[in-house]
Amino acid sequence: MKTETPDRLYVRKVDLRDLDNLKKERNSSLYGRDNKEIFIMAMTLGYYNESKTPLERKEGYFREEYLNDDDRSLIKAIAVYDEGNLDVLLDKKKGIFYCRRVCSRRNEIP
């Protein structure tokens, strides 16, 4: 049976309103940013803070096809570090899943 790779990257449903508000507030560092940039920032902060939270109720945040090579490299690097070996690179779905867990934790975004 073929396992489909998800076409979207997700965030927790409860965080959508806060993320949307941060994008609209002029004094927010996320003002005017797109969803991909916000996801990458949250993922990086989650990694830095060593926080992982399962996505119990999730909502599609942006399409995977919007990731560029640098974004994909960052996702892979974080997944390899967390897993402690390169096997995670063989399973694209696992790497994306890891980064969704890291991103899903509410991190302090200025």
**78-92 pLDDT, tens digit each:** 888 888 888 877 776
pTM more than 0.85: no
Is 3 a domain residue?
A: no
Is 110 a domain residue?
A: no
Is 61 a domain residue?
A: yes
Host domain of residue 64:
8-104
Q: Looking at the 3D structure of the chain, how many domains does it have? A: 1
Is 2 a domain residue?
A: no
Is 109 a domain residue?
A: no
Helical spans, DSSP H, in 25-91: 35-48, 69-83
Residues of the chain with pLDDT > 90: what percent?
14
DSSP letter assigned to residue 50 = T
Going from the C-alpha of 8 to that of each of 63, 89, 102, 110, the distances in angstroms are 4, 18, 15, 25
pLDDT of residue 32 exceeding 80, the answer is yes
DSSP letter assigned to residue 3 = P
The one-letter amino acid at 39: F
Q: pLDDT class for 98, splitting at 50, 70, 90?
A: low
The pLDDT, as a whole number, for residue 30 is 86
